[in-house]
Structure 1
Amino acid sequence: MRALFLKVERGTTALATALACAMLTAAAALGLWQIITRFVIERPAEWTEVLIRFTLIWMVFLGIPMAFRIGAMVSVDVLYRWSGQRLRRFLDTMVALAALLLIGITIVVGWDYAQRGSVQTVTGLEDVSMFWAYMSMPVGGVFSVLAIVGNWLDPQRMELETAQ
């Protein structure tokens, strides 16, 4: 069961990371298009600024699971380095529970925002509902829950390994 969960978690975290990279690429391309339309064509495309903001929001919430998975989000480095094996596992559990609580709140609040924002439209993109911007919170949160549990089951401390 554990191996199956970790396999699914690796896939979902890889998917979230790939989508976060795609959002960064889209934001860069939109920024380039905005520069071209504003300074070369001299007819600015107002909608690009809003889309850049949306893609960056989605990028952040989809990138968080990878940070949790490699153990780089919530960290108690000094205590972890000074502690023995049993205390380390306790710290891992406490950090995972605190992160799950925080992400759980993010999912609930994000879903509530998405529901309330579904009647709002985006300035500059009148056909797009704010629902899609706010959905980044619960979607990224679900990916994060899987990554947090995956890191608890199979801890990776990449930030400790690279620290000097």
Structure 2
Amino acid sequence: MHWFLAVERRLTRTALELAIIAMALVVALTFYQVVTRFVLGHPSAWSEVAARSAMIWMVFLGLAAAFRMGSMIAVDLLVDLSPPAMRRIVHMIVGVASLVFLAILIWYGTAMALRVRSQNLAGMSITIAWVYAALPAGSALALFGVIARMMEVWREPAGAHDDELKNVEGSV
């Protein structure tokens, strides 16, 4: 279990760092687009598409860290409303539902990326499959976080995991 958590921690941290880089790229590309459009009067044909693509990657890479930290508003509400004895069960149900959802995203995201691999992004000579690949890549990374979170919830005594999991946020 320790090796899995170590691998998951490194994968989640790397995904989060890449999401931050993608966010910086979105900001830079959007700034470039504004300058070329409104200052120079000659809008760039590729920067808007590139910014949108980087934003998609940012979201799906950030998904790994979000799932690992349990940053889901509806889930927090369910956990807070349930009695302490039921909280572990709620966490497990949410974890299994998340795994199913991520598996579906991996399956259909891969199929979609393969389906559009012969199409290029507008204004760029890059296949659009690279954009669609964010779905299965980010979802696969998020699987590790969901499993790790479920393992930590399960190994803690009933009720004790609530405070412990809030501390996990600082370790990612």
Instruction: Give TM-score scaled by structure 2 length.
Output: 0.85
Q: CA deviation at 1:40?
A: 2.1
| Residue type of the alignment partner of 2:135 | M
Question: Cα 1:124–1:78, aligned 2, differ >3 Å: closer, same or farther?
Answer: closer
Are 1:74 and 1:95, in contact at CA under 8 Å, matched by a contact in 2? Answer: no
Q: What count of residue pairs does the alignment treat as equivalent? A: 157
Give yes or no for the alignment of 1:148 onto 2:142.
no
**Mapping 1:1-164, distance limit 5 Å:** 2-73=1-72, 75-81=74-80, 82-85=82-85, 87-125=86-124, 127-155=125-153, 157-158=165-166
The structure carrying a bigger strand percent of its residues is: 1
- Give the Cα–Cα distance (whole angstroms) in 2 for the partners of residues 120 and 78 of structure 1: 42
What SS does the aligned partner of 1:16 have?
Answer: helix
Identity, % of aligned pairs? 34
Gaps of 5+ in 1: none
Tell me by how many angstroms 1:25 deviates: 0.3
Residues 120 and 130 in structure 1, CA contact (< 8 A), matched pair in contact too: yes
Q: Give runs of ≥4 in structure 1 deviating > 3 Å.
A: 74-79, 155-158
**Given the two structures, how large is their TM-score scaled by the length of structure 1?**
0.88
Query: Partners in 2 of 1:143 and 1:80 — Cα distance?
Result: 24
Deviations 1:86-138 (A, max 9, x none): x222111110000000000000000000000101111111x110110100000
SS at match of 1:128: coil
Aligned equivalents of 1:75 and 1:152: distance in 2?
A: 17
Unaligned runs of 5+ in 2: 154-163
The whole-number CA distance in structure 2 between the counterparts of 1:92 and 1:44 is 49
